[in-house]
Structure 1
Amino acid sequence: MQMIIVDDEAHWVDNLSMTKPWHTLGIEHVHKAYSAHEALQIIDTHPIDIVISDIQMPEMTGIELIERIRVRDKKIKCILLSGYSEFDYAKKAIQYEAVDYLLKPPTDDELMGAVQKAIDQLNTEWELISSLKRTQFTLRENLPHLRGRLLLEALQGHRFAAGEWERKLANYDLPFHDGDYALMLVRMEEEFRHYDNNDQTLIEYAVSNMAEEIMGEFMEVWGVKEEHGYLVFLLQLKENDTDIGKETILEKLSVQLQSKVKQFLKGSLSIVITEWFPFPEQLYDRFRQASAYFRQIVGDEREFVMRVSDVETPAAQGPLDVLYTPPSFIHLLESGQWDAAEEKIVAVCEELDEKWSESWEHCMEAGFLITASFTNLAHRNRLTLATLMGSDIEWLQSGKAFSTISKLRKWSLSVLGKLKEGTSNEIKDIRSEYVKKIQDFTDKNLHLDVSLRVLADHVNLHPTHLSKIYKIETGEGISDYISRLRMDRACHKLKMTTKKVYEISMEIGYMDPAYFIKVFKRQFGVTPQEYRDHHK
């Protein structure tokens, strides 16, 4: 856990933060803030759990600080300290759900006890949120979506280890076990295509329910809608005492599904079913085979129930596997996973070497898809392949890049490196632009509110994200930069003008001159007036 101590009296903050055994309570880090504004900046950039704050502070009171904290995060626990035993303060503290209200100076037992109370409340709340019962309830609520997502990933070629499959099936309460499986692909025909998106979803849901009802008497059923619009059902035969063969049962139930949909939903279905196969080893191949059957055999014909035959596909006509196995190449580029993208290129070329070393078409297929992905990302980043590659673009224009597998590998890896470099440079330029905007805005508005949240709103970024970007680019935090800028400007005005100290205080963003004097002395060891006198 992380805690912050807030007080305009620096010695009080330093004493509480460094001399108390906070680690014995599980507090990993204690932050220090010498004003409420500084505290808010720290809260915006760090995962603060507990706030200990004085009430009487210039510019913003501890009560006002809690009020602003509640807008940001309702879970942060606040403890208030005050030198006055006033009912109104205590009432306000209760209103904003302060854990405790202590009179200064509190005893160690009082202070440690209040923090322990805050920790106990936090633990209780988070235990409730993360409790097994609540997790199980949430899981049940989202189970259909999670199940569908898992099956869809498997159909797209995502590989899971055997142990991982067993764990996921158990977690998602899917009653599947070792044995034979079949796939049933359902295509909803033209009668259903005039529905709008919402009605279409309801119709698909109705068809899925009917399939589960009809098939469920004899089989375990697990269904999902895949990306090409087919409803896909993974089926496993339950134990049964009938003399009917499993192939016959599957075909009979498929015809029955067609009939009931026709009768009650007034539309037709075309159905392709696979041979029985071991799961999960052959799931992806069987799904791809069944999808191809719709394209090659069923075509535009309607209301078929067809079984996929185990016809051997000539080797020269087979598809590339690695290129289309998730995650896709364009996805890896878009998410900046450069190492994984490089591994993808290498794996594609290894598959070409192993299976299609004599096939120029397969090499061209891989080259075109890789090139399209490169071009798409370059254009998104306001670049062109020609600019990125220089004279190497001639390889692409002449077709040499795809003429052999070795050239494809060399060319693709070279372009990937240049695209990565170009994207990284653009990111650096964008970060530099953010820093420039922040510094320009702060320079012009130092006399106004230049808190982290205001600056983040100015550049349309989240405060935490902005803070990290600024730190990466400049090596210092935004609050450090603002403090340094204020002190630099204060020194300049003290030396070069005859303005009053309170006027300078207002011009650099300190509404309370007394607080400005205190901060200035903490920074330079002298008051502003002493600094001015020394530099006359």
Structure 2
Amino acid sequence: MQMIIVDDEAHWVDNLAMHKPWHKLGIEQVHKAYSAHEALQILETHPIDIVISDIIMPEMTGIELIERIRIRDKKIKCIILSGHSDFEYTKEALRNQAVDYLLKPPTDDELFGAVKAAIDQLNTEWENISSYERTQYTLRENLPLLRGQLLLDGLHGHRMPADEWSRKLTNYGLPFSNGDCALLLVRMEEDFEQYKNNGQQLMEYAIVNMAEEIIGEFTEVWGVKEEHGYLVFLLQLKEDCSDIGKETILEKLAIQLQYKVKQFLKGSLSIVMTEWFRFPEKLADRYLKALAYFRQIVGEEREFVMRVGELAQNDSHGTLDVIHMPPTLINLLEAGRWDSAEEKLVTVFAELDDKWSESLEHCMEAGFLIASSFAHLAHRNGHTLSNLLGPDIEPMQSGEAFSSINKLRKWSISVLGKLKEGASNEIKDIRLLYVQKIQEFVEKNLHDDVSLRKLADHVNLHPTHLSKIYKIETGEGISNYVSALRMDRACHLLKTTDKKVYEISIEIGYLDPAYFIKVFKRQFGVTPQEYRDGINNLTESYEN
């Protein structure tokens, strides 16, 4: 679980965050916020479970903070800390469903007891949502199967007149209508492979139930599992939720789903979301684009949430058994599942060895399908296979690669490795480009809004996705980079200019000079003015 501690007194925040054994209660990460506004920014980009907040803070009280939190997420548990035993404050805290109201300074027993109570409430609520009894009941129902097949038909582009769509939606009790919708594609990662047969299905239904609980508060949810193994959710805003921030709400809800599945089902998800589109006309097209994004951007990375980009789709037919069994090689390549693609080739060649070791035709059939899958992948990514493979294209062009099972095996595994390496390098280049764009933007706009949300909008990525990319490529968080750059520029301006402290504060992006002074002192142990005086004294001593 993740928790945030909010107080304008830095020593309270630092002491509670850094010097208490929260891990013993199962708290994995403790965030620090020195104002309610800073807390709200953290809540935008992290799946917070518990908030511990002071009640008297400048600009926004702890009660007002809880009220803002309740609008965004009704499941977050809040604990109030206060130096005032005021009945009105207590009443307001209880009205906003605070878990506890503790007087400063709380004892460890009081503090841990309140957090333990919050954790118990969360566990009870989410265990009910993801319970096996509920998922087993859902499995026995026939209606979800009919709904799922209808959604699959739409995803695959089956044409139906508008009145037939309306009739089926009504008959199946689906509260969807012609208009703006969005798709979420959810990939269950390898940690779910421990569940076999019915256990796997129960996990899938548990995730569907959790998605309905989290996302269903704001949108209608219609889900199905498709042939690539993804869970697909069609979403449409509810009528009373039209003003909740249409462009950002899906990202936040997807992150919550990802986090809660990790927390309570012990498995990880990768999620791709589309932009809003016209349903049902654009359903199949947006589905293809979402599929392609798993291949082009996610690749082998795990636990990503991102917006959709370019599309890709193909299919093949033939007579060999294994190579045509789903998921097909082209499906695996499009999804960026390189290890599974290699396993697919291994099983294809095992079948050739076992059943068709004397058949040149079957070897050629498999070879043509494998080669066409490779070529299709290259073309979908804007390349040619000959440019990607170099000399390795010659055995295919001459037909030598198809002349025996062993030659085809060696060539196919080698080419798959090259394609994988090329895709990895391409993704790395894209990430480095994002890092460069972010750093250039921050350097030019340090005086302005360089929040994570602003930076993510600048490069058209989700904040959490951008944070992970930046951390992967640089080894540090974006906020650390921005803070370090601000402090470096502040030191430079203090050394080389006569600008007043408040002017420097505004120039580096701190609108509140008092907060700038507090941050500077926390970083360097002295105030900005003391730092400047020290530099001047050192210069004078050197000159004398």
Name the TM-score class by shorter chain: 0.5 to 0.7
Other structure's SS at 2:48 match: coil
CA distance in 2: counterparts of 1:430 and 1:61, whole angstroms: 42
Give, as a single letter, the amino acid of the residue that structure 2 aligns with 1:130. Answer: S
CA distance in 1: counterparts of 2:37 and 2:165, whole angstroms: 53
Structure 2 equivalent of residue 314 of structure 1: none
CA distance in 2: counterparts of 1:5 and 1:421, whole angstroms: 43
Structure 2 equivalent of residue 328 of structure 1: 328
Other structure's SS at 1:52 match: strand
Contact 1:45–1:467 at 8 Å: present in 2 too?
no
- CA, structure 1 residues 330+197, in 2 after alignment: closer, same or farther (shift >3 Å)? farther
CA distance in 2: counterparts of 1:43 and 1:370, whole angstroms: 47
Contact 1:349–1:409 at 8 Å: present in 2 too?
yes
- CA, structure 1 residues 137+355, in 2 after alignment: closer, same or farther (shift >3 Å)? closer
- CA, structure 1 residues 453+19, in 2 after alignment: closer, same or farther (shift >3 Å)? same
CA distance in 1: counterparts of 2:516 and 2:31, whole angstroms: 21
Using the TM superposition, give the Cα deviation of residue 10 of structure 1 relative to its aligned residue in structure 2, in angstroms. 2.6
Structure 1 equivalent of residue 515 of structure 2: 515
Structure 1 equivalent of residue 122 of structure 2: 122
Larger RCO, structure (CA 8 Å, separation 6 or more)? 1
Q: Kindly indicate whether residue 374 of structure 2 is the aligned counterpart of residue 362 of structure 1.
A: no
CA distance in 2: counterparts of 1:399 and 1:386, whole angstroms: 15
What whole-Å deviation, never above 9, does each CA across 1:73-117 have from its counterpart, x for those lacking one? 332112232345567755664565433344433344543343233
Give, as a single letter, the amino acid of the residue that structure 1 aligns with 2:123. Answer: N
TM-score (norm: length of structure 2): 0.63
Structure 1 equivalent of residue 494 of structure 2: 494
Structure 2 equivalent of residue 484 of structure 1: 484
Q: Kindly indicate whether residue 17 of structure 2 is the aligned counterpart of residue 9 of structure 1.
A: no
- CA, structure 1 residues 15+492, in 2 after alignment: closer, same or farther (shift >3 Å)? same
Structure 2 equivalent of residue 33 of structure 1: 33
Structure 2 equivalent of residue 437 of structure 1: 437
Other structure's SS at 2:362 match: helix
Using the TM superposition, give the Cα deviation of residue 522 of structure 1 relative to its aligned residue in structure 2, in angstroms. 0.9
- CA, structure 1 residues 475+18, in 2 after alignment: closer, same or farther (shift >3 Å)? closer
Larger radius of gyration: 1
What whole-Å deviation, never above 9, does each CA across 1:330-373 have from its counterpart, x for those lacking one? 11112222222122223222322332233332222111211121
Structure 2 equivalent of residue 396 of structure 1: 396
Structure 2 equivalent of residue 423 of structure 1: 423
Structure 2 equivalent of residue 460 of structure 1: 460
Structure 1 equivalent of residue 342 of structure 2: 342
User: How do 1:70-85 residues align onto structure 2 when only pairs under 5 Å count?
Assistant: 70=70, 72-84=72-84
CA distance in 2: counterparts of 1:194 and 1:387, whole angstroms: 39
Contact 1:58–1:515 at 8 Å: present in 2 too?
no
- CA, structure 1 residues 6+402, in 2 after alignment: closer, same or farther (shift >3 Å)? same
Using the TM superposition, give the Cα deviation of residue 198 of structure 1 relative to its aligned residue in structure 2, in angstroms. 6.6
Using the TM superposition, give the Cα deviation of residue 63 of structure 1 relative to its aligned residue in structure 2, in angstroms. 4.5
What whole-Å deviation, never above 9, does each CA across 1:302-331 have from its counterpart, x for those lacking one? xxxxxxxxxxxxxxxx93111112221011
What whole-Å deviation, never above 9, does each CA across 1:447-483 have from its counterpart, x for those lacking one? 2332222322332222222211111000001111111
- CA, structure 1 residues 200+68, in 2 after alignment: closer, same or farther (shift >3 Å)? closer
Structure 2 equivalent of residue 106 of structure 1: 106
Contact 1:44–1:452 at 8 Å: present in 2 too?
no
Using the TM superposition, give the Cα deviation of residue 36 of structure 1 relative to its aligned residue in structure 2, in angstroms. 4.0
Contact 1:14–1:32 at 8 Å: present in 2 too?
yes
User: How do 1:110-509 residues align onto structure 2 when only pairs under 5 Å count?
Assistant: 110-141=110-141, 144-145=144-145, 196=161, 199=164, 319-509=319-509
Other structure's SS at 2:135 match: helix
- CA, structure 1 residues 91+194, in 2 after alignment: closer, same or farther (shift >3 Å)? closer
What whole-Å deviation, never above 9, does each CA across 1:506-530 have from its counterpart, x for those lacking one? 2222222111111101101111011
Other structure's SS at 1:53 match: strand
CA distance in 2: counterparts of 1:518 and 1:343, whole angstroms: 57
- CA, structure 1 residues 407+109, in 2 after alignment: closer, same or farther (shift >3 Å)? closer
Give, as a single letter, the amino acid of the residue that structure 2 aligns with 1:453. Answer: R
Structure 2: stretches of 5+ with no match in the other structure: 153-157, 172-225, 228-317, 537-544
- CA, structure 1 residues 457+69, in 2 after alignment: closer, same or farther (shift >3 Å)? farther
CA distance in 1: counterparts of 2:2 and 2:160, whole angstroms: 54
Contact 1:360–1:403 at 8 Å: present in 2 too?
yes
Give, as a single letter, the amino acid of the residue that structure 1 aligns with 2:79. Answer: I
CA distance in 1: counterparts of 2:144 and 2:48, whole angstroms: 36
Structure 2 equivalent of residue 249 of structure 1: none
Give, as a single letter, the amino acid of the residue that structure 2 aligns with 1:366. Answer: A
Structure 1: stretches of 5+ with no match in the other structure: 153-192, 207-225, 228-317
- CA, structure 1 residues 532+414, in 2 after alignment: closer, same or farther (shift >3 Å)? same
Give, as a single letter, the amino acid of the residue that structure 2 aligns with 1:82. Answer: S
What whole-Å deviation, never above 9, does each CA across 1:483-521 have from its counterpart, x for those lacking one? 111111111111122211111112222222111111101
CA distance in 2: counterparts of 1:437 and 1:67, whole angstroms: 36
Contact 1:41–1:479 at 8 Å: present in 2 too?
no
- CA, structure 1 residues 92+464, in 2 after alignment: closer, same or farther (shift >3 Å)? farther
Other structure's SS at 2:333 match: helix
- CA, structure 1 residues 198+419, in 2 after alignment: closer, same or farther (shift >3 Å)? farther
Using the TM superposition, give the Cα deviation of residue 9 of structure 1 relative to its aligned residue in structure 2, in angstroms. 2.4
Give, as a single letter, the amino acid of the residue that structure 2 aligns with 1:123. Answer: N
- Count of residues in correspondence between the two structures: 384
CA distance in 2: counterparts of 1:32 and 1:327, whole angstroms: 45
CA distance in 2: counterparts of 1:194 and 1:518, whole angstroms: 63
Other structure's SS at 1:535 match: helix
Give, as a single letter, the amino acid of the residue that structure 1 aligns with 2:339. Answer: D
- CA, structure 1 residues 446+78, in 2 after alignment: closer, same or farther (shift >3 Å)? farther
Other structure's SS at 1:47 match: coil
Using the TM superposition, give the Cα deviation of residue 414 of structure 1 relative to its aligned residue in structure 2, in angstroms. 1.7
Using the TM superposition, give the Cα deviation of residue 145 of structure 1 relative to its aligned residue in structure 2, in angstroms. 1.9
CA distance in 1: counterparts of 2:423 and 2:391, whole angstroms: 19
CA distance in 2: counterparts of 1:422 and 1:528, whole angstroms: 49
CA distance in 1: counterparts of 2:94 and 2:350, whole angstroms: 68
Give, as a single letter, the amino acid of the residue that structure 1 aligns with 2:525. Answer: G
Using the TM superposition, give the Cα deviation of residue 402 of structure 1 relative to its aligned residue in structure 2, in angstroms. 1.6
Other structure's SS at 1:373 match: helix
CA distance in 2: counterparts of 1:142 and 1:486, whole angstroms: 59
* Mean Cα deviation higher: 520-529 or 43-52: 43-52
Structure 1 equivalent of residue 525 of structure 2: 525
Using the TM superposition, give the Cα deviation of residue 419 of structure 1 relative to its aligned residue in structure 2, in angstroms. 0.6
Contact 1:55–1:81 at 8 Å: present in 2 too?
yes
Give, as a single letter, the amino acid of the residue that structure 2 aligns with 1:78. Answer: C
Contact 1:36–1:62 at 8 Å: present in 2 too?
yes
Other structure's SS at 1:383 match: coil
Give, as a single letter, the amino acid of the residue that structure 2 aligns with 1:349. Answer: F
CA distance in 2: counterparts of 1:332 and 1:194, whole angstroms: 26
What whole-Å deviation, never above 9, does each CA across 1:37-90 have from its counterpart, x for those lacking one? 554454455432111122444566544544554454332112232345567755
- CA, structure 1 residues 87+491, in 2 after alignment: closer, same or farther (shift >3 Å)? farther
Give, as a single letter, the amino acid of the residue that structure 2 aligns with 1:363. Answer: C
